Amino acid sequence: MSVATAGPLSDSQVGVELRKMTEFIKLEAQEKAREIQIKADQDFEKDKSALILQEKAIIDAAYEKKFKQASMSQQITRSKANSKARITILAAAQRVVDNIFEDAEKKLGEGTKDKGKYKETLKNLVLEGLYAFNENSIQVRARKEDFSLVKEAIELAAKEFKKTLDRDVEIEVDESKPLPSDSTGGIRPSSREEALFGENANRKFFD
């Protein structure tokens, strides 16, 4: 800034002009400083918001991971508990079946010679196994010479079970492990789980 004069400035005028210039420069500097501060504050807020969002995303991801792990652990625990309970129930059912078939085996005797009566007996034994296990699928063992008659009895039992409980069942003759030919006959039912996990050597369904 300058002031037009007709001649040289006096010392006092120079001092006045210098003070004006100094004040102007000071005001400009203060304004610039305010602009810089405002810009810095705005950038800080942006960076802070971005950092908060980033940390929130990290926390959310960690929580989601822990939640999934906890859910999986809970499912595994529940599955093990259900499996254990199921095995316990099947074991109890098997004991009931053991008693039924031990009694049936004692009563068979000469009854196997009358094919009509024997098939009816086999059908009832299959039904007893179905009701005892309450499964949609069971396996049946029998003497090799009884396979044909047992399959006929199975068809009759499945139809009667369907009529009684309105439920389809799958009954399979396990021909890979027939009962001894010198046994008194009958059948040996087991659940599919029983077939998978092995047999209890203490069970007795035949001589």
Domain ranges of the chain: 99-197
When comparing pLDDT for 186 and 62, which is higher? 186
pLDDT at 15 over 90: no
Strands 187-191 and 170-173: unpaired
Average pLDDT of 71-76? Answer: 78
pLDDT in tens, 156-180: 999 999 999 999 999 999 999 998 8
pLDDT band (50, 70, 90) for residue 145? very high
DSSP-derived secondary structure letter, 177: S
Average pLDDT of 188-196? Answer: 70
Average pLDDT of 22-44? Answer: 82
Tell me the average pLDDT of the chain.
Answer: 78
pLDDT, residue 197, reads 46
When comparing pLDDT for 8 and 20, which is higher? 20
pLDDT, residue 162, reads 92
When comparing pLDDT for 51 and 98, which is higher? 51
* Percent of the chain whose pLDDT exceeds 90: 22
Q: Which of 80-84, 103-107, 122-126 has the lowest mean pLDDT?
A: 103-107
Q: What's 99-197's CATH class?
A: alpha beta
pLDDT at 18 over 70: yes
**150: helix, strand or coil:** helix
Q: Which residues contact 175 (CB under 8 A, 6 or more apart)?
A: 144, 147
Q: Which residues contact 192 (CB under 8 A, 6 or more apart)?
A: 135, 137, 138, 139
pLDDT, residue 152, reads 95
The whole-angstrom distance between residue 54's C-alpha and the CA centroid of its chain comes to: 32
Q: Which of 95-99, 140-144, 165-169, 178-182 has the lowest mean pLDDT?
A: 95-99
